Structure 1
Amino acid sequence: MTETAKPDIVLDAHSDILLDVLALRRRGEKSVLEERFLPGLRSAGINAVVCSLFIPDEYVPEGSLRMALDQIAALKRDLEESPSFRLCRGAGDCYSAAAGGRVALFLSLEGAEPVGRDILLLDIFYSLGVRLLGLAWSRRNYACDGISFEDAPPYAREGGLTPFGRELVRRAARLGMVVDVSHLNDAGFFEAARLIGGPFIASHSDCRALTPSPRNLTDEQLGILAGAGGVAGMNAYGPFCETKEHGRTAESLLAHLAHAVGNFGYEHAGIGFDLCDCVESLRGPCPEPKDIFAGHADAARFVEAVRARYPREQAAAILGGNFMRVFETAMR
């Protein structure tokens, strides 16, 4: 596909959609992607989604591998019934899917728990289509420490990557996987950044300068990420956007985007909404929703605001082009 033929990609770099696909298919539903998620994605104009393989605490450690494989199996079954979606193994697949009017899906490990401490399993996940490696969720695994959600020190912890974690990063680079540092603790972030040696991403992390959640990135970290050619996806989870509940609005998320763009360049900002509406099938409706947006259809107003506030080229880059640049560079 030539450069001029590439369609614009609007990409949400982090979604837990697969938890719903698995849970609802186990209850007998079919075409979960088509019936449950396509309308919202179309409303927002989103034509690419990074789907996390997230492992709930109750499966760790023994059930982590099985839970990840079950999510992949459920997705592949659902894709047979959801023709508007396509599982992609590289940027070229994504552009082709979008050109054909389909929603491109990428697979990402959200935490290395399914790999355990067996490096060969990373190759297996790669063969199944996984193209992104999130080293941590907010807990400890064999590769590294995740960062706590607690605001009080010592939220960063002292541990960086383990020897196995360093091996995992090197193997991911050789395979052609994008490394994701969201949820990684501060010490691990700096070590991973030195080790990766190329562009990496923080798929769903806001700016700690605006909201002091340890899950957000400091300006130093954002500078390192940008210097490596990477991208940070703005996260719509309310507590990461604004400390005070009444201030958790689309404007607060736009403020994080403006901070990232103003200080590090529009080329290094994206969206990773991390919407939690797609975990209701596991835990039931949240009594106090904390996301700024009630699903992708509601997030359309953020997409529209980005297009209204930034020149067309910059808006297109923020909404998907920047992540695609990293995917083109790193994925094989």
Structure 2
Amino acid sequence: MQLLFDGHLDIAMNALAYERDQRLTVDQIRVREHAPNESERGTCTLSFPELRAANTAVVVGTIFIRCKPNVDPARTIFREDADYPDPTMAYAVGQSQVAYYKLMEEMGELRFITNKAELAAHLELWEESSDPVADHLPIGLVLMMEGADPIVDIEQAKQWYDQGLRCISLAHFGHSRFSCGTPSAAEPDGPLTDLGRALLVEMDQLGIVLDLSHIADQSFSQAVDIYQGPLIATHTNCRAIADTGRQMTDDQFKTIINRGGVIGAVMCVSMIRHPLDREQFPHDVTINELADHILRICDLAGNTNHVGFGTDMDGGFGAAWTPVEIDRFTDLHKFADCLSGRGFSDTDITKFFSGNWQRFWMQNLPG
């Protein structure tokens, strides 16, 4: 079974917002969540045991919370609500997610990966194990912040870095205090803010990687000029195939590729096929359709060195919103045969499953 490296998972959010005990199996979680639920969590597809069973050595795990000063404090508030009216609140919730990851490390479920030596030692541990499940190997965690809103002021970025943060994206959906994220009619495309420009300079100095997922076009073009460090898109598909502002253009992909970056392919079907009729479920989107996105990125690069998994599974969508062949995380290994059928060699498939992300982080984590 291929070693797997996932470029984007919202593990702490699932635990704290959706009340998922990630130490349980997927089947156990599904039994606990058998009753209808109005939240967006959907049907669970992963947990720590499932990640081990899928031979997942490393994930990029998120801190995810937003500051939206225009939210109505009088609204009905749900635990899964990602929006807070003030950055001090976003900071505190973000810290709770770090605390969750730290506790899971103490319990042997995770291992923080903060530098090259830690990544190399961790990968050696996984490669030497014949049974990660029986050995109960810890899953490596590269910590990222999806949307920079938990950073109250620029000087605070160093505190987050010291806690293990190694990657930041500036915004999620709509406008943040730093940039414009995925646009909408209410929050259209727009530029970086002064705070966003200052944060990019600080990220360069600290050695924090810039994730361009979700960023809107105008903010994208400004960010890549200001920030001189390595670029990635942890979870983004091709706008040329699924034409929405959430995906990236070919030129944007080329910018990331030319800076040595990697793009993570996302499992959400509305990002694989667009338009997708949300009233016509169950859908019929397949992994072969996602392979179209993967091959397009390879064609843009002229090689297979710049794309991997960035599944975002259980990131506000569940099994109903993944390709028909993917009911749970272990099913990702079906991509081996799919990609082989599309002309990938065994070496290419290994790069996609883990090699490209391994190379990127070995090059760009601190020494």
- Using the size of structure 1 for normalisation, the TM-score is 0.84
**In the alignment, which residue of structure 2 is the partner of 1:139?**
174
**Which segments of 5 or more consecutive residues in structure 1 lack a partner in the other structure?**
1-7, 281-285
Counterpart of 1:75 (choices 97, 101, 106) is 101
Change in 2 beyond 3 A, CA 1:307/1:120? farther
Deviation at 1:303, TM superposition (A): 4.7
Change in 2 beyond 3 A, CA 1:198/1:110? same
Alpha-carbon separation, structure 2, partners of 1:188 and 1:23 = 29
**In the alignment, which residue of structure 2 is the partner of 1:163?**
194
Change in 2 beyond 3 A, CA 1:306/1:20? same
**In the alignment, which residue of structure 1 is the partner of 2:145?**
109
Deviates more, 1:186-195 or 1:98-107: 98-107
> Matched residue of 1:316: which SS?
helix
CA contact (8 A) 1:111 1:136 kept: yes
CA contact (8 A) 1:21 1:33 kept: no
Deviation at 1:60, TM superposition (A): 4.4
**In the alignment, which residue of structure 2 is the partner of 1:252?**
289
Alpha-carbon separation, structure 2, partners of 1:61 and 1:248 = 39
Q: Are positions 1:312 and 2:343 aligned together?
A: no
Alpha-carbon separation, structure 2, partners of 1:270 and 1:174 = 27
Change in 2 beyond 3 A, CA 1:174/1:33? farther
Deviation at 1:304, TM superposition (A): 5.0
Counterpart of 2:328 (choices 270, 295, 298) is 295
Counterpart amino acid of residue 216 in structure 1: Q
Which structure's CA Rg is the greater one?
2
**In the alignment, which residue of structure 2 is the partner of 1:175?**
206
Alpha-carbon separation, structure 2, partners of 1:43 and 1:203 = 22
Counterpart of 2:15 (choices 12, 21, 35) is 21
- Percentage of pairs with the same residue: 25
Deviation at 1:248, TM superposition (A): 1.8
Alpha-carbon separation, structure 1, partners of 2:295 and 2:115 = 29
**In the alignment, which residue of structure 2 is the partner of 1:50?**
60
Counterpart amino acid of residue 45 in structure 1: N
Q: Aligned ranges for residues 171-320 of structure 1 at < 5 Å? A: 171-243=202-274, 244=276, 246-264=283-301, 265-276=303-314, 289-292=320-323, 293-306=326-339, 309-320=343-354
Alpha-carbon separation, structure 1, partners of 2:22 and 2:349 = 36
Counterpart amino acid of residue 93 in structure 2: M
CA contact (8 A) 1:21 1:75 kept: no
Counterpart of 1:61 (choices 67, 77, 86) is 86
**Which segments of 5 or more consecutive residues in structure 2 lack a partner in the other structure?**
29-45, 66-80, 127-136, 278-282
Tell me the matched-pair count. Answer: 310
Deviation at 1:329, TM superposition (A): 2.9
Alpha-carbon separation, structure 2, partners of 1:48 and 1:295 = 17
CA contact (8 A) 2:116 2:365 kept: yes
- Aligned CA-pair RMSD: 2.7
Alpha-carbon separation, structure 1, partners of 2:238 and 2:229 = 22
Alpha-carbon separation, structure 2, partners of 1:156 and 1:100 = 46
Change in 2 beyond 3 A, CA 1:134/1:33? farther
Counterpart amino acid of residue 53 in structure 2: S
Greater helix share, 1 or 2? 1
